[in-house]
Structure 1
Amino acid sequence: MSAAAGLLGTPAIVRAQSAAWPTRGSVRLVAQFPPGGLVDTIARLMAPSLSQALGQTVLVENRAGAGGVIGTDYVAKAPADGYTLLVSHASVHVFSTATLPSLPFDPVGDFTHMGLLVEAPNVLLVKADSPYRTLQQYVTAAKSRPVRYGSSGIGSAPHLLGAMLTGEADAPNLDHVPYRGSAPALQDLMAGQIESMIDPVTTNVAMLKDGTLRCLGISTAQRLPALPDIPTFAELGYPRLTSAQWLGLSGPKNLPQPIVDRLSALIPQILARPELAVRFEDLQTKPPAQPVMGTAFTDRIKAEISEWTAVARRYNITAA
């Protein structure tokens, strides 16, 4: 075969290999946070359905550390062959980008972003016996005396949301207390070491429903049907506090188009499965009303990086 013929044949070989994907082993779905958290939970919900749809085992692999940066970087540098995928998270792709001086990857250019999976709104939580029964009581207190709120860390989405509330409510004594994750923050909240915390609703639904926790506000545009007594920040006078932490499906940059097309077609189908819809309802962490795929997903990431970088600069927040 001539060199020219060999060159002409290469794309055909690549297409054939991509079309046959996955055939040579398990697909790894990387969760960049520890077991038991939001990312791990969604990854383990998605994996069996992906396995069934692809006809190949999909294994969840936890690669935690550095606020999700380690696992995300691992996928950014993995071969673009479809066998290493990422449950991408706004915590890393948006909020770390907005607050860290540098990252070992480009959150847009080093990835193939295929589609948004679910969105998790944030909530402002207090204990059931807290003296603060409304957001107005809470911010009024923080105008004159220290009121502490915990978060999952400096530069996290809850931290930035709290900074926005501090500024917009003109409550200078609303003090941020960072933790190494939501679990220790919740532990201190229940022990009375802090007065409140801001956290995704996902892991707090049960305690809200049984009355252990009270929610003073939620970052959705409308109230959640499953938690109708929780007011939105928007209806309480803070419309800019409307945001959600999304999770998506991404891979390394230059993922072959046949693989991208196959996964992009599968995402809406899998998210619509009745058994997953029930679990998403339980967690109050749901797919978007309209699919956000491909370029639209990438554009959303770019827009949120710009938006939250501006917020971080306005309130002088850096995770370094």
Structure 2
Amino acid sequence: MNRFARRALLALAALAPLATPAAAQQFPGRTITVIVPFAAGGPTDTVARLVAESMGRDLGQTIVVENAGGAGGTIGSQRVASARPDGYTLLLHHIGMATTPSLYRRLAYDPVGGFEPVGLITEVPMTLVAKKDFPANTLAEAVAVIRRDRDTLNYANAGIGAASHLCGLLLMKAVDAPMTTVPFRGTGPAIQEILTGRIDLMCDQTTNTTEQINSGALKVFSVTTEARIPALPNVPTSAEAGLPAFQVSVWHGLYAPKGTPAAVTQRLSQALQVALRDPKLVARFADLGTVPVPQAQATPEAHRAFWMADIAKWKPIIQAAGQYAD
């Protein structure tokens, strides 16, 4: 390489750091895609569509939500991890981001190092629900039925690693009675099977069950949080109903591919924080039994700290269960 070529390369290298802020200042200049790694109609999909609508208004661009379900959320996650790190392809995922590193021993992408956290969104309670004609009306009665009929009952989930799967693990451990599990490509399809009566039981997030519970389409036994929730004031907590070990909630967060410029990630985080203050979004979340996280948690830094702590929390639980997705 001659000296003129070397000088040209050095000049380009000197200009490279200047290019990133300029690109970030112009961001976003086109439509953004948010990948939900689960089927349409599920609770994470619901959260994503509400957040995308509000964020899009602040960013001045359309945000399209695209479902890429399958393999416990890893198919959609891999797609984002391998996307161009420019802020135009994002991932909205739930607690599965904390359990995937332990559930999967072999993945085609790095489930931690492949992403830049943008901010937390909400922490959603779970509900234990059943088909309308399930032969129990309280959690205590349901536990008795599960223990008695464990060999004939079926429990739905959205695949290994899904929130419904994790909740089911805790339930079966708490009642000391394994059930036949039936995986689906998302909780939306699973709920439909419960509504038809072909599935007996399931844990699902309030964002996906509250309306069905209030309409009487689903039977509910408990919410899996420490306190009752306003959207379902007459539904007892698991602890109240005699099963204190059965507690879990599902948090959601927004991610960009690793290497996304910090200025772009911060702009997305800013838009997320604006969205979480949107009265329309807050009201809709309340209808679904949840609330936005405090503003301080909707930042990349707080999101990362929370995420790492939850990875450490779930690792021993998953290892004790001995159930891996691969």
Same fold (TM over 0.5): yes
Change (3 A) 1:277 1:107: same
Corresponding residue to 1:21 among 27, 30, 33 = 27
| TM-score, normalisation: structure 1 | 0.88
Query: Please, which runs of 5 or more residues in structure 1 have no aligned partner?
Result: none
Where does residue 86 of structure 1 map in the other structure?
A: 91
Q: Percent identity?
A: 36
Q: Is 1:245 aligned to 2:245, yes or no?
A: no
Matches within 5 A, 1:59-70: 59-70=64-75
Q: Which amino acid aligns with 1:272?
A: R
Deviation at 1:180, TM superposition (A): 3.5
Matching of residue 220 in structure 1 with residue 225 in structure 2? yes
Tell me the secondary structure at the aligned position of residue 322 of structure 2. coil
Residue pairs, 1:266-285, within 5 angstroms:
266-285=271-290
Name the SS for the 1:123 alignment partner.
strand
1:163 aligns with 2:169: yes
Residue pair 1:82, 1:259 contacting (<8 A) in 2 also:
yes
Preserved CA contact (<8 Å) 2:39 2:186: no
Partner amino acid, structure 2, of 1:83: Y
C-alpha distance in 2, partners of 1:265/1:41?
A: 21
TM-score (norm 2): 0.87
Which range moved further: 180-189 or 257-266?
A: 180-189
How many pairs does the alignment contain?
317
> Which residue of 57, 60, 69 maps to 1:55?
60
Q: CA-to-partner distance for each residue in 1:79-122, whole Å, 9 max, x for gaps? A: 1112222213323x133333233222222211000101122221
Query: Which secondary structure state, in structure 1, belongs to the residue aligned with residue 325 of structure 2?
Result: coil
- Give the match for residue 122 of structure 1: 126
Q: What is the Cα deviation at residue 177 of structure 1? A: 3.5
Deviation at 1:175, TM superposition (A): 4.2
Letter in 1 for 2:155: Y
Residues 289/219 of structure 1: CA separation in 2 closer, same or farther (3 Å cut) = farther
1:299 maps to 2:316? no
Which one is further off, 284-293 or 309-318? 284-293
Q: Is the 8 A contact 1:116 1:291 kept in 2?
A: no
**Kept after mapping to 1: 8 A contact 2:72/2:160:** no
Q: Structure 1 10/187 Cα, relative in aligned 2: closer, same or farther at 3 Å?
A: closer
1:141 to 141, 145, 152: 145
Post-superposition shift, 1:78? 1.2
Supply the distance in 1 between the matched residues of 2:169 and 2:69 (Cα, whole angstroms). 26
What amino acid maps onto 1:38 in structure 2? P
8 Å Cα contact 2:35-2:76 kept in structure 1: yes
Tell me the CA shift for residue 253 of structure 1. Answer: 0.8
Q: Does 1:99 align with 2:126?
A: no
Quick one: structure 1 residues 99 and 15, their matched pair in 2 at CA, closer, same or farther if it must change by over 3 Å? same
Contact map agreement 1:119 1:287 (CA 8 A) in 2: yes
Residue 112 of structure 2: aligned partner:
108
8 Å contact kept, 1:113–1:251: yes
What is the CA distance between 1:217 and its match in structure 2? 1.3
Q: Distance in 1 between matches of 2:243 and 2:15?
A: 59
Letter aligned with residue 160 of structure 1 = L
Give, as a single letter, the amino acid of the residue that structure 1 aligns with 2:84. P
Could you tell me how far 1:165 is from its partner in structure 2?
2.3
Q: For the structure 1 residues 139 and 109, does the alpha-carbon distance in structure 2 shift closer, same or farther, using more than 3 Å as the test?
A: same
CA RMSD of aligned residues (A): 2.4
Deviation at 1:45, TM superposition (A): 1.9
Deviation, 1:191, is: 4.1
1:41 equivalenced with 2:46 (yes/no): yes
> Is the Cα contact below 8 Å between 2:125 and 2:225 reproduced in 1?
yes
Relative to structure 1, the CA distance from residue 6 to residue 174 in structure 2 (aligned partners, 3 Å threshold; closer, same or farther) is closer
Aligned to 1:319: 325
- Hey, what's the Cα distance between the residues in 2 that align with 1:85 and 1:232? 34
Question: 2: CA distance between counterparts of 1:43 and 1:186?
Answer: 19
Flag the 1:111–1:32 CA change in 2: closer, same or farther, 3 A.
Answer: same
- Structure 1 residues 243 and 318: alpha-carbon distance in aligned structure 2, compared to 1, 3 A threshold: same
What residue identity is the alignment partner of 2:160?
I
What amino acid maps onto 1:181 in structure 2? G
Contact map agreement 2:38 2:185 (CA 8 A) in 1? no
What is the deviation of 1:304? 2.1
Preserved CA contact (<8 Å) 1:219 1:232: yes
TM-superposed CA distance for 1:73, in Å, is 0.9
CA distance in 2, matches of 1:40, 1:164: 24
